[in-house]
A and B are shown apart, each in its own frame.
Chain A
């Protein structure tokens, strides 16, 4: 993990309140695993003292860029969304522990993303597809106006979109689509709101899988113990989301 000054090279609203931003700097892509995040200093001392952790959606080794996608949910992400092409941001990256794809033996992967949990699965899917692994995606959104990256995921393999209100794709939740498709795969990889991850890990309790979780963070580098998740090993212990995660084995931690 390094501290870097990066240049914003692209800002685009790709769905309702959802911004895709590309960051460039020499060496920015070094050592990035899918599932890791960028910890961004979004503003001045007084307005936004805490950084905002945003997951990495894509990496371009040739152009030396990292793409992030975030939803404007509060004043911090709103301020981040105000940055324009050519402006500079100070970031820490890559942060956290991503999906251990090099140590997993598989031929078919299922990606299950919900809302703003979709972005890290794109870079993951791309890396898996590069390795010749078949990639199937189920992407859940609230409504048609929230849908993004469907065509990009379609380039990786079959992609199924589901919306809560049925205004686009299937109607219902990602777990309903899992039921309907009765897919065969070796591992699943999921990222999304806690409620969705609970439903997914319960439904797929007998499948090997990895989940990525989010939490309010302090330092973002493992020093302050703010973003922890209870472990599932009966020790009453905690894992640090920002350092041990945000990616965990599905049965490694307790979601609540």
Chain B
């Protein structure tokens, strides 16, 4: 079974990669399995300077999901390159660097450092972190700002492709997707988490110190599927899909909706070896539902539509 997937800048041996923020920089998971099995790795968000993140508690379990408000804690782009990326480079796996920032110029600067010094294979432009006041969500909910930051980061990234990570916390996901596509995005990753809250009955206060957090896990999978399905019909750039994937069956559902590849996030916390297990199960699942390759399944959930037109 051919699991290969080609995306701009990314030659993937399979379509499964851990999602940003759920896998650190791979070091801990490498104790549990050979990272060479992965299609790619999306590393935790990098900002220009070190960020210390939010107060704790930073996570809470919910029905079929979890809330998190880490707050983009990271050691800053220079230390990520020195301390983490050289280690990751010892694996035969493409690295996608997630870039976050508070201003357009910070996004540009971090992108330049990552693409020139670290030679990452792709940039994931994070304009959708809901957990910091100045962490990009202001760009991710306004099509003009999203377009502006995408354009400038694309200019700064040279030949390295830019995938824009979309926030589901918008009324018009198709409008956002079109805006960043028109600004030059090479691809989309979607969806980031949905803003949520949990209140403690004992303390009568939100469980998370940040009050709100990003909801992830199986609870949001139908939303991700719906948004990818809609966006697929209106853009032509490839989509890396994510949102509650736990199994190889879930991966196929994302492919049918229109994703070319997928990222697994929260499931890594439930089962740290979920990525290799899903990769191993994927050929059987594709075969079972009548597909001979990953690419064969992409977008096949749309064939019932008679007037399918892609922009």
B168 CB-CB contact with A under 8 Å: no
Q: Contact: B269 with A228, CB < 8 Å?
A: no
User: Counting chain B CB atoms within 10 Å of each CB, which of A2, A218, A228 scores highest?
Assistant: A218
Q: Are B58 and A49 in contact (CB under 8 A)?
A: no
Chain B contacts of A243 at CB under 8 A? 28
**Interface check B195, CB cutoff 8 A:** no
B266 touches A49 (CB 8 A): yes
B59 in contact (CB, < 8 A): yes
- Give which listed residue, A45, A221, A224, A229, contacts B70 with CB less than 8 A: A224
Stretch at the interface among B18-26, B280-288, B290-298: B18-26
> How many residues of chain A are within 8 Å of chain B by beta carbon?
32
Chain B contacts for A167, CB-based, 8 A:
none
- Which of the residues B28, B53, B68 comes within 8 Å of A223, measured between beta carbons? B28
Chain B residue with the shortest CB-CB distance to A238: B52
Instruction: Say yes or no: is B203 at the interface (Cβ < 8 Å to chain A).
Output: no
Complex interface bits, B31-66 against A, C-beta within 8 A gives 1, otherwise 0: 110000000000010000000110011111101111
Question: Which of B65, B68, B268 interacts with A226 by CB under 8 Å?
Answer: B68
Instruction: Decide: A225 and B58 in contact? CB cutoff 8 A.
Output: yes
Q: Which residues of A contact B32 (CB under 8 A)?
A: 1-3
A120 to chain B, nearest CB (A): 20
With A49-B64, A50-B269 given, name 7 new contacts (CB 8 A).
A3-B272, A49-B269, A92-B272, A220-B269, A223-B28, A225-B70, A226-B56
Contacts of A225 in B (CB 8 A): 24, 44, 53, 58, 70, 73
Question: B31 contacts A1, CB within 8 Å?
Answer: yes
CB contacts under 8 Å to A, within B3-34, are 21-24, 27-29, 31-32
| CB interface residues, A 49-83, toward B, < 8 Å | 49-51, 76
Taking a contact as CB atoms under 8 Å apart, the answer to whether B58 and A216 are in contact is yes
Total number of B residues with any Cβ neighbor in A under 8 Å: 36
Chain A residues within 8 Å of B, Cβ to Cβ? 1-3, 41, 45-46, 48-51, 76, 90, 92, 215-229, 236-238, 243
Interface of A is mostly: loop
Interchain CB contact under 8 A, A224 and B21: yes
Question: Assuming the A-B contacts A46-B63, A223-B28, A225-B70, are A216 and B268 also in contact, with contact meaning beta carbons closer than 8 angstroms in the complex?
Answer: no
Chain B residues lying within 8 Å of A48, measured Cβ to Cβ, are 61
In the complex, whether B169 has a CB less than 8 A from a CB of chain A is: no
Q: Report the Cα distance A222→B268, complex, angstroms.
A: 12
Q: How far is the CB of B241 from chain A (nearest CB, A)?
A: 18
The 6 A-B pairs of least Cβ separation, nearest first, read A223-B24, A226-B59, A221-B28, A46-B64, A223-B28, A226-B58
Interface mask (B61-99 → A, CB under 8 Å = 1, otherwise 0):
101111010100100000000000000000000000000
B246 beta carbon closer than 8 Å to chain A? yes
Residues of B within 8 A of A41 (CB): 270-271
Of the A-B pairs whose beta carbons lie under 8 Å apart in the complex, a sample of 26, sorted by A's number, is A3-B32, A3-B272, A3-B273, A45-B270, A46-B64, A49-B65, A50-B269, A50-B270, A76-B61, A216-B56, A218-B68, A218-B269, A219-B22, A219-B272, A223-B22, A223-B268, A224-B70, A225-B53, A225-B70, A227-B56, A227-B58, A228-B53, A228-B58, A237-B52, A238-B52, A243-B28
